[in-house]
Amino acid sequence: MTTHDTTSNPENHANLGNTASTIVEGAVRLVGSKAQAIRVGHARLLTVALFFGVCFIVLAARLIELTVIREPGRSLAFVAAAPNKSAAGRADIVDRNGVL
């Protein structure tokens, strides 16, 4: 019995090489309206990616500015408010019978 080794056959190597080169060389090129649609979609995707990139950089810069660069000081949000003195006093806490 003889076994057939397909990897050692030079013809198979040539066929595999030709097939691989044909696949690599045979790039699909779109023309017409499909190519235009691909170009428009690619441009829109790049525009949105650029927009998100700029927003990320702006937010990162603001975060760095607030945490690292800005000198620590008293924030307006934490200024003590004046005590609220109401003219009406609080009533006594009583039960339903009026007993303290």
Per-residue confidence (pLDDT) for residue 34, from 0 to 100: 86
pLDDT of 58 reads 98
Check: CB of residue 41 under 8 Å from CB of residue 47.
no
Q: How many CA atoms lie within 13 A of 13 on its CB side?
A: 5
The domains of the chain are located at: 23-70
Q: What is the pLDDT along the chain (100 residues), one digit of tens a residue?
A: 555 555 555 554 444 444 444 444 667 777 788 889 999 999 999 999 999 999 999 999 999 988 888 776 666 566 666 777 766 777 888 888 888 7
pLDDT in tens, 21-44: 444 466 777 778 888 999 999 999
Calculate ∠ Cα 70-75-59, nearest 5°: 50
End-to-end CA distance of the chain: 110
